């Protein structure tokens, strides 16, 4: 199906032409001039001055209402009377819905079925008529074109329209006005390319010495591939973690502009984006969506690659429409993304005292001991124990050195820090039934998160008792919740009660728990 005509007739617009459109864009009926905030913590860590363009502050928590409203404000009264339609993963949809409400016109919004519910609810709350269709923006777009033809609606493209591009370009104008002193680079996330086309055209028309750096997810890099090949490259599939930029095919006009105004492209992965979401939170106490944090992830990657110091950068935080449930995943992956945590599979002798000796090996790591962030183990073999362990790290790239240290102490080790299966699934699956777990008692403990808490537990245990299961994950609180299986003969019950009393940690026995009996007890 052929897209609706969006590019102007005649010669293609130059950055200077776009600058004129930016200067006359109608965005401030609905949008605000968002803050340009100094990221002080991130700046100190990177030894460069970092500022964040806070498009998460917009009324719909995204930059998208700028371009959407600018397009709609230029429609004729007759067009507005019939109504408008768009396809969007959510943020553009909210901009169209808000703009339509402001202009008193009907808005039909076609959204992928994968859109987070928070965005669907937000569009409906603004008066938009939501139609769910397809798994990605491109699928929803095709359905929107069909509805447009059927109902005579005006199509408001999320990125491939000069008026939309000019509306987004007002962000570039604001950055140049707000930023005092030299500016070396502006980092901009890319989905279909409307944001970087507008921002890039504005910046290059006024300050061509400033680098414009485009950012895409590695699994949604249609713009990078298209510019590299000099033609449109349509992706067969896109990753959905950063759903706001999950576009299979970029626009005709945005590809033309990006190829001329973008100095460099950077692709980032999911873990790096999770770490960037945390970085933004630390500096702003705000939570941006994955697409909104991509620019920060790329900025960090750029500094690490080019070893820069003392330069000034701006990262555009494009939106904050985060599905709350996704925060669980983000928090889990942020430490690995920043490489503040390393994950390993370590093989120990299945013998009493091995656990304690392993902790001593951890304590002897060069540069000092590391905190244990995770420890998962289930007895399964009479000779060997396989443990899944997470450790804090002092610097990037440290996990191979830690693995080598374990190997020098005759501990077979596999570095899982960058293993997607391990991070996504295996860490939650260590366990199961075991025929070796005789006389097992299952207890939930609350350990204080301080050095020596685990060592105290091991020191007070009788040497004849064996740990048959151990599950722990640091949750960032002052106390850690730990599940422990202990093989304690019935004849030792009195001694076991004395052990628990002397230990002094809160505990609950779960030996009769039905979930334990179904999934862990043989």
161 sits in the region (left: phi over 0; alpha: psi -120 to 50; else beta) called: beta
Q: Which residue has the higher pLDDT, 454 or 162?
A: 162
Tell me how crowded residue 329 is: count the other CB atoms within 10 A of its CB: 15
d(C-alpha 69, C-alpha 5), whole Å: 18
Q: Which residue has the higher pLDDT, 449 or 291?
A: 291
64, 71, 204, 300: the catalytic one is 64
Say if CB 87 and CB 143 are below 8 A apart.
Answer: yes
pLDDT at 193: 96
Average pLDDT over residues 292-312: 97
Alpha helix positions (H), 345-398: 354-363
* Residue 476 binned pLDDT confidence (cut-offs 50, 70, 90): low
Chain centroid to CA 441: 39
pLDDT at 1: 38
With 50 as the cut, is the pLDDT of residue 9 above it? no
Report which secondary-structure segment, H or E, holds 187: strand 185-189
Q: Worst-scoring range by mean pLDDT, 77-91, 221-235, 422-436, 484-498? A: 422-436
Any residues with CB less than 8 A from the CB of 302 and at least 6 apart, and which? 185, 187, 213, 266, 308, 313
The first and second tokens of residue 141, run together, are: 């777009």
With 90 as the cut, is the pLDDT of residue 21 above it? yes
d(C-alpha 38, C-alpha 299), whole Å: 14
pLDDT at 309: 97
* Residue 161 binned pLDDT confidence (cut-offs 50, 70, 90): very high
Residue 318 annotated as catalytic:
yes
Q: Worst-scoring range by mean pLDDT, 214-228, 256-270, 475-489? A: 475-489
Q: Write the DSSP assignment of 139-169 as a string of letters.
A: HHHHHHHHHHHHHTPEE--SSSSHHHHHHHH
Residue 260 annotated as catalytic:
no
Q: What is the DSSP letter of 369?
A: -
The first and second tokens of residue 44, run together, are: 């100190």
Q: What is the pLDDT of residues 190-205, one digit of tens each?
A: 999 999 999 999 999 9
34, 318, 399, 468: the catalytic one is 318
**Which residues are paired to 391 by β-bridges?**
342, 372
Mean pLDDT of the chain: 90
Average pLDDT over residues 221-239: 94
With 70 as the cut, is the pLDDT of residue 24 above it? yes
Burial of 106 (0-12, 13-18, 19+ CB in 10 A): middle
* Residue 419 binned pLDDT confidence (cut-offs 50, 70, 90): confident
- What's the count of helices (H) and strands (E) in the chain, helices before strands? 20, 18
Average pLDDT over residues 410-419: 91
pLDDT at 11: 64
Q: What is the pLDDT of residues 101-142, one digit of tens each?
A: 999 999 999 988 877 787 788 889 999 999 999 877 778 889
d(C-alpha 375, C-alpha 430), whole Å: 10
With 90 as the cut, is the pLDDT of residue 313 above it? yes
Length of the chain: 522
* Positive or negative: CA dihedral 170, 172, 173, 174: positive
Average pLDDT over residues 3-25: 74
The first and second tokens of residue 163, run together, are: 């008026």
Average pLDDT over residues 244-249: 87
Q: What is the pLDDT of residues 320-378, one digit of tens each?
A: 988 787 888 888 788 777 778 899 999 999 888 888 889 889 988 887 778 888 899 99
């Amino acid at each position: 199906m052929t897209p609706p005509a969006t590019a102007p007739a005649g010669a293609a617009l130059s950055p200077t032409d776009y600058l004129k459109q930016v200067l006359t864009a109608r965005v401030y009926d609905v949008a605000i001039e968002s803050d340009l905030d100094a990221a002080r913590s991130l700046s100190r860590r990177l030894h460069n001055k970092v500022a964040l363009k806070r498009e998460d502050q917009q009324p719909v928590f995204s930059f998208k209402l700028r371009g959407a409203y600018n397009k709609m404000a230029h429609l004729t009264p007759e067009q507005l009377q019939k109504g408008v339609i768009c396809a969007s993963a959510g943020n553009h949809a909210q901009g169209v819905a808000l703009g339509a409400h402001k202009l008193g016109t009907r808005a039909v919004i076609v959204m992928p079925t994968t859109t987070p519910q928070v965005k669907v609810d937000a569009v409906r709350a603004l008066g938009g008529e939501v139609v769910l269709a397809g798994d990605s923006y491109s699928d929803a777009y095709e359905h929107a074109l069909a509805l447009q033809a059927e109902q005579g609606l005006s199509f408001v493209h999320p990125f491939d329209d000069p008026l939309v591009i000019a509306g987004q370009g007002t962000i570039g104008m604001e950055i140049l006005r707000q930023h005092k002193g030299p500016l070396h680079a502006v980092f901009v996330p890319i989905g279909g390319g409307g944001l970087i086309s507008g921002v890039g055209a504005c910046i290059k028309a006024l300050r061509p010495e400033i680098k414009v750096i485009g950012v895409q997810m590695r699994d949604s890099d249609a713009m990078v591939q298209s510019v590299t090949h000099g033609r449109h490259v349509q992706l067969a599939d896109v990753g959905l973690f950063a759903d706001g930029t999950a576009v299979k095919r970029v626009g005709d006009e945005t590809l033309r502009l990006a190829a001329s105004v973008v100095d460099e492209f950077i692709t980032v992965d999911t873990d790096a984006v999770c770490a960037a979401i945390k970085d933004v939170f630390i500096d702003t106490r705000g939570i941006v969506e994955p697409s909104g944090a991509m620019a920060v992830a790329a900025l960090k990657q750029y500094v690490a690659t080019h070893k820069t110091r003392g330069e000034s950068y701006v990262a555009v935080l494009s939106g904050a429409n985060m599905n709350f449930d996704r925060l669980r995943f983000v928090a889990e992956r942020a430490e690995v993304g920043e490489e503040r945590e390393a994950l390993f599979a370590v093989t120990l002798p299945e013998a009493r005292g091995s656990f304690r000796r392993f902790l001593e090996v951890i304590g002897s790591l060069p540069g000092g001991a590391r905190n244990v962030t995770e420890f998962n183990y289930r007895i399964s073999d009479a000779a060997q124990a396989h443990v899944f362990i997470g450790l804090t790290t002092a610097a990037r790239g440290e996990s191979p050195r830690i693995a080598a240290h374990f190997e020098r102490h005759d501990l077979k080790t596999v570095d899982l820090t960058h293993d997607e299966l391990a991070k996504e699934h295996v860490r939650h699956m260590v366990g199961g039934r075991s025929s070796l777990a005789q006389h097992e008692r299952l207890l939930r403990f609350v350990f204080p998160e301080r050095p020596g808490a685990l060592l105290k537990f091991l020191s007070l245990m009788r040497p004849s008792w064996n740990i048959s299961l151990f599950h722990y994950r640091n949750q960032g609180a002052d106390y850690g919740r730990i599940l422990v299986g202990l093989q304690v003969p019935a004849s030792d019950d009195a001694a076991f009660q004395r052990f628990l009393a002397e230990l002094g940690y809160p505990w609950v026995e779960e030996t009769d728990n039905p979930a334990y009996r179904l999934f862990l007890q043989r």
